[in-house]
Each structure stands twice: as structure tokens, then as C-alpha cells.
Structure 1
Amino acid sequence: MALNVLGVVSMVVFYLIVLGTGVWAARKAREAKRKSSGDRTAVMLLGDRKINMVLGIFTMTATWVGGGFILGVAEAVYNPEMGLIWALMPIQYSLSFIFGGAFFAKPMREKRYITMMDPFQQKYGNILSGILVLPALLVDVLWVSCTLLSLGVTMSIILDLPYYVSVWLSASVAIVYTLLGGLYSVAYTDVIQLSLVFLSLWLCVPFIMINPKSLDISQTAFKYMYQRPWMGTLVWDTVWKWIDDFLMLGLGSVSFQSFHQRTLSSSSSKTARLTCFAAAVAVSILGIPPVLIGAVAASTDWNQTQYGWPPPYVRGEQTLVLPLALQHLTPQYISIIGIGAVAAAVMSSTDSALLSATSVFSSNIYKNILRRSASDREFNWVIRLTVVIVGVVGTSLTFLTNSALLLWILGADVSYTLIFPHLVAVLFFKITNGYGAFVGYIVGVTVRLLLGENTIGLPVILPLPGCTLEDGVFVQKAPVRTVSMLFSLGTILAFSLLFTFLFKRGILPEKFDVYNVKSTCTEPAADAQNRRETEPNDHTEGEALQPMQKSS
């Protein structure tokens, strides 16, 4: 197969448009920084908290509808071992947005946090919050890898570009415009990228659906034709795993820094909530095209295509089914348009993950722990350097696996089992303290490791009821991720109550109370009322910025 010159030229034009938009947005960011009289960190990382609802919907949706989303949904629908019933990511993310908008957006935005980790830092101090930052950084790095991997395999198949060229070129463009303008560049480029994703995917669908090499997907939904029905099946011994996956993606997404970066950048708490609800609808609509492409691929007689027989899943190439379907089931110019959709989706998620990891490290680690006296100039250079490092590390990880779905689910696993219970505890349970959080973190990590994960070769040490031995390997049938999450949350609350009791009753000496548990419990009612009345509260658009309260 020769190099697809027309496709390469089209991709170069697209990258230039995105880069130009990023440069224009960077100028807007510099103007906002000059005019800002408040915390300039909010300008770079949160767009000066002036992202309106329309722009917020675009950037929130574009962040989740990435390359891993598009390729992962198509792969799951096509995979004979899974099917549509296991590919509910669009619905799960929609529920995640609704859940996040209903319960998380308002309290986070009204407290004017810079990152998702700020409530931990304010309540637990620097050492413990620094430990809690690590899984948040890991999630974002895995997300960068997942999105770039999906674009690399797509471009290498359709354009016949070397895989490493595709990946590093895309990563470089995303790194450059993220460096230039921070959230302003990310948000405004998301408008172009999401528009292209929507138009391109829906333009490809009719050509995929009417190709003569595939049967009507209604015939193959429940009937065995070229492979198992693409609707999939849910047998009794996999019900708990299905529930586990559903909860992991539906709840775990709320503990992504990328989600909170968009709500915290909104012009008000009301705008933040409405943005979440609108994005829930948008992400469902954008999940339909990859579902249809995966269903058509499962209904195709691949022997009639240039790809030949056996089909992709027999060759172990089910992860590549979307680009393969575009290449062999559509005209060349349509496959190029499909590449544009994947590229736009990848860029929109990659830049978000880059900025997300950068925000957590630069604000919660560097500025609040390592260098509290850092100047604006120094802090800006730290942000730029972190963007580059995260981009390089994330890009390098794409060479370790060929499954975007694997990286996607692994990141969601870490978010759900380790970050989500801590976020719920610190925001909604006043009794939570540093002792409970520390023990909960240790227990959560230990339990999750002991329960194992076959997809990455982590052996099962602690088999739960229903665990079976298959081909010499223990396979868990129980909802291991949810069990780990509940163990962690329960431990946080239980040990927080225990240490509150011990210090309040004087059983433990006050000199050991490094998290000030006793003083928190004995806070006078009048002081508590005064503190609540002086907490920042924003119900109007465009309020003046306030510096973030730092941990003592």
C-alpha cells in the first residue's frame, strides 16, 4: 500500500487549523492575564473562570469523546466476546455528567478551587494530599496514551504512515498549543475539534451502512451469521462484572481532574451544572456512530474485502476495527474524513489530559508544597515543562500495547477505586480526617492489588465468592472494582470516626493529633457560623477572583 498523499495533506491542513486556533486563543489568554487582578493561576489553568455555557458544553463533551471513546466503543461492539451490551460507555458517561452536575459541580465551584485536589490539601495538609495526587497523575498519563494510541493505529492503517510518526506528530501539535494558551487554547480548539468529530462521523455512517459487503445489521443483531450477534449476551455469571464496569465508568469519571477543570472554569456554579447536563446529551449522540460502525463490521463478510479472511478478531486485530472498516468499507475520500474525526477526537482529549495533569502537579505539588514563593514567571515555566514531560511520557506508553480500550479501562479503574471514595468522603462527610484518609488509601490500594486484574497480568491473591479457575488462572466473577471502592470508602469513614473518638475522649494524647481532629470537633457554633458566612459563594456571572485558601 502506497502513502495516501491526499490523506496526509488533509491531516496537515487540519493540524494547521487547530494550531492556528490555539495560537489565537493564547493571545486571548495573555490579555486576560494582563487584565486580571486576582489569582493568575486561574487564568492559565481555568481560563480566568470565564468559560460560558456554550463553550463549556463543547470542551466538556470534546474531552470525553476522544480517540479511546470512538475506537473503544467500536471495538467493544464488534468483539464477539462483548457486543453492544458491554459497550455502554456513552450512556455511562452521560450518567456521570448528570451525577457530577447534580452533586459535585456546585460545591466545588462555589469554593473556588483551582484543582480537584484542593479540598484534600486544605483538609489533610501537604504530605497526605501529595500521596493522593499520584493516582490522579497516573490517570491523566494513561489517558494521554489511550488517545494517542487510537490515532496512531488509525493513521498508520489508512494513510500508511509509520505508527511512531503519527503518534509523535499528533502529540507535538497538542503539546504546542496547550503550552501557548492553557485552558483558553484547549477550550477554543475543542470547538473546532468537536464540530469536526460530529460532522465527520455522521458523514461516514451512511457509506458504512450501505456498503454491499455487509448484511443488514438488524439481521445480525441477534442471529449468528459471520460471527456471534453484535448485540452481545449477558449470562448469569457475568452480571456482576457488567454492573462493576457500569459503575466504574459511570461514577469513576466524576473523579477525573479533567471533569472538574471544566466545572471550575465555568463563569458560575449554575453554568457549571447546566454544562454537565447538556454535555450528557451530547456525548450520547456522539456515541451512536461508533456503535453503528462496530455493528456493520460484525455483519461484514471480510472475505469479500481486500482485508481477506480470517476476520479481524481471529487475527487479534479487533482493536483496529474502526480504521479497518473505514478503509475497506468506504470510498477513499470518506475514509480520509473518518481519519479527521479520529484525529479531532484525539486532539481534544489529549490536550485536556495534558492540562489536567499539569494543573494538579503545578498547583498542588510545586506551588503549594515545593515552592510557595514561586513567582508568576517561574510558575508559568513549571507549567510548560510539566506539559512537555506528561506529553512525552504518555506518548512513550503507547508503544507498550495496541489496545486503546485497555488503557481507557485501566485509567477508569484507578480513578474509581482510589480517587472516587476519597473525593466523596472529603466533600460530603464532615467527620472525615487525615487519619481515616491515610488508612483508607492503604487499604484501598492493598485490596485492589490482592483482587488482581487479568487484563494486565496481575494475579488474584484474594479470590472472592464465585472466583473460578480457568486455564490455570483465577478469574474473579464478583465486582472487584466496586468492592475495592467500598472497602476504601468504608475504611476512611470508620477510621475517621475512630480517631475522632480517641482524641475527643482524650484516649490518645493531643500531641499526636497532627490533623487537628480535636479542634475541628470542638469548633464553637458561633465560629462555625461565621466561617460559613465568609466562605466564597458565587451565584452571578463574572465575579471577581479570590485567591485560593492554602493549606497551613
Structure 2
Amino acid sequence: MAVDVPGLVALVVFYVVILVIGIWASRKSKKVEKTCAGSKSEVTIVGGRNINILVGVFTMTATWVGGGYILGTAEAVYSPSQGLIWAMGPPAYFINFLLGGLFFAKPMRSKRYVTMLDPFQHSYGNSFTTALLIPAMICDVLWVSCSLAALGGTMSVILGLSSVISIVISAAVSITYTLLGGLYSVAYTDIIQLCFIFVSLWLCIPFIVLNPAVSDVSHTAFFNQSNDNAWLGELKLDDAGKWVDEMLLLALGGLAYQALHQRILSAASSAQAQITCFAAAIAAFIMGIPSVIIGAMATSADWNQTAYSLPPPYERGDAGKILPLALHFLTPPWVSALGVGSLAAAVMSSVDSVLLSSASMFTQNIYKKILRKQASEKELQGVIRVSVLLVGVVGAGLAFLEDSVFSLWIVSGDLIYCLILPQLICVLHFSCANTYGAISGYIVGVVLRGLSGEPLLGMPPVILYPGWREKNGVITQYFPFRTISMFASLLCIPTVSYLVQLVFSRNMLATSWDFLGVFSKRKETEEEEIPVSPEMSNSIRNTKL
């Protein structure tokens, strides 16, 4: 396939514009560093806590509206085995931001944390915080690879450009401006990227609707004798458990992403953080509508009337590329070039946020508080940049290995959902939670999720939940096994915490058995904080004399 030179030129221009905006924002960041009361590393991580509401809404929405969201939504609507009812992104993200504003924004922002891991470090110590960092960073790397793989596939379809070159260039641009300006560069480039996504995708829709190869979508909405691919889809009772599991994974799992809390913590106040979440809920839902429409139109298209010809995309295994295929074969070349630009914008708006997310957690919670407690601000800035580079390189490398965008999108959140979400809920909302309960919940989550298996990783299940199916020697769970793992961990944390606290508070075990030092340290702290009246002080002094 020949390279589309005009489209490639347009894409390069777009990348240059984004890079220039990122450089400009980095200069703004430097000015804030001089006037901000906080440290330079905090300016890089949370923008000096003065990101205004409008910028906050844009950057929070853009972080979620990535390549996986846009392509995955269109793929779900188009796929014969799924349909609109399986396009979970828009409603799930609406719920995610709504819950984030109601239950997480205020407790996180009011205590002026710098990262999502700060409450764990304060309550449970360094070792357990390190254990939580591992799944969080794995998830971020998979998110980067998912986004870049989506863009690589899109550019190969529309521009005829090698997916390897596409991934390398996109990763390089995102890494560069994230290195330069931290959250300021990420936030201000997100504004341009989100606007470009919205305008270009909506611009493509009229051309697809008016294409003679596309019939009335009402004729393909439902299954019938002449239509075996209905874009509305259907939810069978046997599939209900899988649907619930994936919906809750997307709706609740996002609450434990550092990228979400980074924007919450960058707000000027708790109230502003909540407003940002609520506004982003509406914006993210709206941003998913074009993908739904394009997926439905692709279902109604007679591909034999296009240069793509037959068999249709889903029979060729190209359902994951349906959005770029629709843009390329159902719109004029200049329109499809805008479409690939919107996908590039979506990918970079997510990739840059995730790069900064991992770098922030490692620098703030591991390097600064464990490895180098006396590290200078200059040294911390250097660590952030090196971390951004490493996460970007590893994520780009993994992007070459995976073709299914939607599968990576689901798998990347498994560890966050099953391990970190229950921990975050308990550390913020359960005062009884302690290190013993946290460790127990972590182990329960890891064991149950691991024993449930993962086909994409070649892990056969040990626990076979009701409704499992086997196809070509691969077992798939149709029971909400991820949610079972999450709720088991969530139940275990406060239960074990309460029982252990009960044992030590009633002296059933001596404090010498408190090998984690949870209650012995607490007792020492309480003794130090006991107020002493002047009369008691004089009595003690006289007794000593």
C-alpha cells in the first residue's frame, strides 16, 4: 500500500503544533516553579495545585478518551457478537467520574496528597506501598501499549504508514513534551487534542452517512433473516455475568488510576476537584457518541461497493480496525486524514498522562521517601524524566506485540480493579483498616485473580466458575470472576483489620506478637500525645524529687 503523502504531511503538522504547545506550556511551568510555595517536583506532578476548572476538565476527559476508548467503542458496536449494548466505554466512564467526584475527590484533595499512593504510605508504610506500585505501573505500561497499538493500526490502514514508524514517532512526541513541562505540558496539549478529536470525528460522520455504500441504519439495528450483524446487539442471559464483570471493571477500576487522582490533586480546592469530575463525566460520555455512530454506519455499509470489497471486515478479523477502515473507505481522503489526526490526538492525550502518572508515583513514593530521602529538587526532576522515558520505551515495545485493542483495554485494568481499588476504598473510608488487613486483602486479590486464569496470557484457570466455556482448547469465564476477586479483597481488608485490632486491644495477644508494629507504634504515639495538666505535672515533679 502506497503512503498517503498529503495525509502524512497533515499528521506531521499536527505533531509539530502539539510539540510547540507542549514547549510553551513547559515555560509556563518554569514560571510557576518560581512563584509556587511548593517544591518543583510538586509543580511537575500536580501543577502547583492551581490548574483551573476548564483546563482540569479538558485534561481529565482527554486522559480517558484515548485510542482504546474511541477504537474499542466502534469495534464493540460493529462486532457481530457484541453491538451497542457491549459498548461500555461511554456509560462506564460517566459512572467512573461521577463516583470519583462523590467519594474520592474530597478525601484525597483535602489532605493535600501528591499521588494516589500517599495515603497508603501514611497508613501502611513503605513496604506495602511498594507492593501496590507494581500493579499500578504494570497497568500504566499496558495502557501505553494499548493506545500506541491502536494508533499504529490506524495509520497503517489510512496512511499506508508502517505501524512501527507510527508507534515510534507518536511515542517520541508524547515523551518529549511530557519530559519538558510535566503536568502543565500534558494539560495544555490535552485541550488542543480533545478539541481536535471532537471536531474531526463529527466532521467525518456526514460523509459516511451520505456515502452510497451505507444504507439506512434502522435496517441493520436488529437481527433478522437477512441481517446477521445487528449494531444494537443483544445480551443473552448466559453472557450477563461477563457483561456485568466488564462494565464494573471499566466503571469502578478507573477510580484507582493515578491519572485520575493526579488531576483531582491538581485542583485549587476540594470543591473544584469535584466539579471537574462531574463535568468530565458528561464530556467523556459525549466524546464516545461519534464512535458509536461510525460503528453503526460500518455495520450498515455494503463493503463490496468500496475498494475494500468482500469479505467484510469482521470476517477478515479486522473488527478492531473498523473505525479507521470506515474513515479510509467511506470518506474522501482529506477527511480520513483528519480522522487519523483525531486518533493521534486521542492516543497522545492518554499516553502523556500515563507516562507522567507512573513517573510521579515512582519518584514521590519510592525514590523520594524510600531510596533517597535527602534527594534535591534537581535530582527528583531528573528521576521523573528518566521514569517517563523508561515507561514510554517499554510501553512502545509492547505495542508491537498485541493486535486486539479491546482485549488490551480490558486486561490493562484487571490488576488495578482487583488489587488497588479495594485497598483505596478501605484506606480512605474505613478507619479500622490496618496493615494486617491490607496485606490479607492483597493476597486474596492476587490469588483469586490468578486462579481465575487469563487466556491472553496463556494462563489456564484453576477455579472454574459457573457458565465457563471452552473453545479450541481455551477456557473462557463468563462469570464475573474479576468482580468476585475485587469484592473478596474488599471484604477481607476491614474484616481482618477489625479482628486483629480486637485481639490486641483486648490483650488476647501480647504486643510482642505485633510483628508489623501497627499497634505497638500506635500505643507509643498515644502515650506521647496524652495531655498533662499543670497540677499533674507538679505532682509528677514532686514525686521525682
| TM bracket, shorter-chain basis | over 0.9
Residue 310 of structure 2 is matched in structure 1 by: 309
Distance change >3 Å, CA 438–CA 304, structure 1 → 2: same
Residue 363 of structure 2 is matched in structure 1 by: 362
Distance change >3 Å, CA 15–CA 528, structure 1 → 2: farther
Is 1:517 paired with 2:519? yes
Structure 2 counterpart of 1:447, one-letter code:
L
Is 1:266 paired with 2:267? yes
SS in 2 for 1:392: helix
Displacement of 1:518 in angstroms is 5.3
SS in 1 for 2:412: helix
Contact 2:49 / 2:268 at 8 angstroms: preserved in 1? Answer: yes
Structure 2 counterpart of 1:63, one-letter code:
T
Residue 136 of structure 1 is matched in structure 2 by: 136
Displacement of 1:217 in angstroms is 1.0
Q: Deviations along 1:444-501, whole A, 9 cap, x unmatched?
A: 1010011122344321111123334445443322110110001111121221122112
Distance across 1 between alignment mates of 2:295 and 2:68: 14
Distance across 2 between alignment mates of 1:28 and 1:424: 35
Distance across 2 between alignment mates of 1:445 and 1:201: 40
Distance across 2 between alignment mates of 1:144 and 1:382: 19
Alignment of 1:113-192 (within 5 A): 113-192=113-192
SS in 1 for 2:374: coil
Distance across 1 between alignment mates of 2:139 and 2:530: 36
Residue 51 of structure 2 is matched in structure 1 by: 51
Distance across 1 between alignment mates of 2:14 and 2:495: 53
Q: Which has the larger radius of gyration?
A: 2
Displacement of 1:515 in angstroms is 3.9
Contact 2:220 / 2:230 at 8 angstroms: preserved in 1? Answer: yes
Displacement of 1:302 in angstroms is 1.3
Structure 2 counterpart of 1:148, one-letter code:
L
Residue 464 of structure 1 is matched in structure 2 by: 465
Distance change >3 Å, CA 381–CA 290, structure 1 → 2: same
Displacement of 1:419 in angstroms is 0.9
Distance across 1 between alignment mates of 2:14 and 2:407: 28
Residue 535 of structure 1 is matched in structure 2 by: none
List gaps (5 residues or longer) in structure 1: 530-552
Residue 79 of structure 2 is matched in structure 1 by: 79
Residue 475 of structure 2 is matched in structure 1 by: 474
Contact 1:211 / 1:329 at 8 angstroms: preserved in 2? Answer: yes
Residue 534 of structure 1 is matched in structure 2 by: none
Distance across 1 between alignment mates of 2:370 and 2:300: 56
SS in 1 for 2:431: coil
Contact 1:75 / 1:318 at 8 angstroms: preserved in 2? Answer: yes
Alignment of 1:527-542 (within 5 A): none
Displacement of 1:56 in angstroms is 0.5
Displacement of 1:381 in angstroms is 0.7
Distance change >3 Å, CA 161–CA 474, structure 1 → 2: closer
Q: Is the deviation greater in 179-188 or in 497-506?
A: 497-506
Q: Deviations along 1:7-33, whole A, 9 cap, x unmatched?
A: 111011111110000000101111111
Distance across 1 between alignment mates of 2:258 and 2:517: 25
TM-score between both structures, scaled by the size of structure 1: 0.93
List gaps (5 residues or longer) in structure 2: 532-545
Contact 1:468 / 1:476 at 8 angstroms: preserved in 2? Answer: yes
Identity of aligned residues (%): 51
SS in 1 for 2:475: strand
Residue 542 of structure 1 is matched in structure 2 by: none
Structure 1 counterpart of 2:138, one-letter code:
L
Q: Deviations along 1:190-231, whole A, 9 cap, x unmatched?
A: 111011011011111111122111211111011345542111
Contact 1:226 / 1:298 at 8 angstroms: preserved in 2? Answer: no
Distance change >3 Å, CA 461–CA 237, structure 1 → 2: same
Distance change >3 Å, CA 347–CA 471, structure 1 → 2: closer
Distance across 2 between alignment mates of 1:521 and 1:94: 44
- Count of aligned positions: 529
Q: Is the deviation greater in 464-473 or in 257-266?
A: 464-473
SS in 2 for 1:202: helix
SS in 2 for 1:177: helix
Distance change >3 Å, CA 522–CA 102, structure 1 → 2: farther
Displacement of 1:301 in angstroms is 1.5
Structure 2 counterpart of 1:353, one-letter code:
V
SS in 2 for 1:112: coil
Residue 541 of structure 2 is matched in structure 1 by: none
Distance change >3 Å, CA 342–CA 51, structure 1 → 2: same
Distance across 2 between alignment mates of 1:421 and 1:105: 16
Displacement of 1:240 in angstroms is 1.5
Alignment of 1:151-300 (within 5 A): 151-224=151-224, 225=226, 227-300=228-301
Residue 16 of structure 1 is matched in structure 2 by: 16
SS in 1 for 2:313: coil
Displacement of 1:149 in angstroms is 1.0
Residue 540 of structure 1 is matched in structure 2 by: none
Residue 545 of structure 1 is matched in structure 2 by: none
Structure 1 counterpart of 2:390, one-letter code:
I
Is 1:434 paired with 2:435? yes
Q: Deviations along 1:136-193, whole A, 9 cap, x unmatched?
A: 1111111111111111111111111111110000000000000000000000001110
Distance across 1 between alignment mates of 2:53 and 2:214: 42
